[in-house]
Chain A
């Protein structure tokens, strides 16, 4: 997939950063990272519950990442239709289990692999016509 390309109208670095599809990509990666950070934080807090976990730097990093992902989501919504944006962000559902597998050593069962495959397939089907459209720009 060609991934992110710049609309012809925006040539400055700032303009390119505001590209809605780049922002959507950032939203996906950052919100998946947020879940991993929050899990690391919750684990490091041991006993003491949700309030004690606020003492963990991971939890704060996770919350900052959540706010960041909301901001890029809102920027993406300026131009991308809601149905398309919402379903492309479904890729987070793939990244979170994959990230917990790679970084947290959690196991992925066979049924979950099937789910990951289906989500990936769905995201590719939705993203494909967009990539073609962007190429024409």
Chain B
């Protein structure tokens, strides 16, 4: 795997995570935001996810799915970091334990 491929995999995962953060910002009942602002955030989420999706498609055309898919396990670890950073969501020890178990599990389900 080249350095560039690794960067592209990470970029694709980060864009998927960014999309989810935009969705949360668009939907959250706990935030005060005008409807227009929410629609804008939703559209940002769709755009960012679409770019990530096409990068992923490009990677899929060059690498085996069994090599690429386990990286999907990482996205929930990235999401945990960014959600606690940007959305100030509280992380507990239980939550970290669950996140890590699911990540490893997803990677195993995907590879085997």
Interface residues of A (CB under 8 A from B): 73-75, 77-79, 81-84, 86-87, 90, 93-94, 97, 109-112, 114-123, 125-126, 128-129
Q: Does B47 sit at the interface, judged by CB under 8 A?
A: no
Least Cβ distance of A63 to chain B in Å? 15
8 closest residue pairs by CB, A with B: A115-B108, A118-B105, A122-B101, A119-B105, A111-B112, A122-B102, A115-B109, A126-B98
Residue pair B102, A81 in contact (C-beta under 8 Å): no
Measured in the bound complex, the distance between the Cα atoms of B111 and A118 in whole Å is 14
Instruction: For A123, list chain B residues within 8 Å (CB).
Output: 98, 102
Residue pair A81, B112 in contact (C-beta under 8 Å): no
Known: A83-B83, A125-B98, A126-B98. A119 touches B20 (CB 8 A): no
Instruction: For A121, list chain B residues within 8 Å (CB).
Output: 101, 105
Least Cβ distance of B60 to chain A in Å? 14
**24 pairs from A and B in contact (CB 8 Å cutoff):** A74-B27, A77-B24, A77-B28, A79-B28, A81-B83, A81-B89, A81-B90, A82-B79, A83-B79, A83-B84, A83-B89, A83-B91, A90-B76, A90-B106, A93-B109, A111-B112, A115-B107, A115-B109, A119-B105, A121-B101, A122-B103, A123-B98, A126-B94, A126-B99
Q: Is the contact region of chain A dominated by helix, strand, or loop, or is it mixed?
A: helix
Instruction: For A83, list chain B residues within 8 Å (CB).
Output: 79-80, 83-84, 89, 91, 95, 99
Residue of A79, A81, A87, A114 near B76 (CB, 8 A) is A87
Interface residues of B (CB under 8 A from A): 20-21, 23-24, 26-30, 76, 79-80, 83-84, 87, 89-92, 94-95, 97-112
Residue pair A97, B109 in contact (C-beta under 8 Å): yes
Measured in the bound complex, the distance between the Cα atoms of B105 and A97 in whole Å is 12
Residue pair A86, B109 in contact (C-beta under 8 Å): no
* Residue of B30, B92, B101 with most chain A CB atoms under a 10 A cut-off: B101
Instruction: For A118, list chain B residues within 8 Å (CB).
Output: 101-102, 104-105, 108
Residue pair B20, A82 in contact (C-beta under 8 Å): yes
Residue pair A115, B106 in contact (C-beta under 8 Å): yes
Instruction: For B24, list chain A residues within 8 Å (CB).
Output: 77, 82
Residue of A nearest to B101 (CB): A122
Instruction: For A86, list chain B residues within 8 Å (CB).
Output: 20, 76, 79, 83
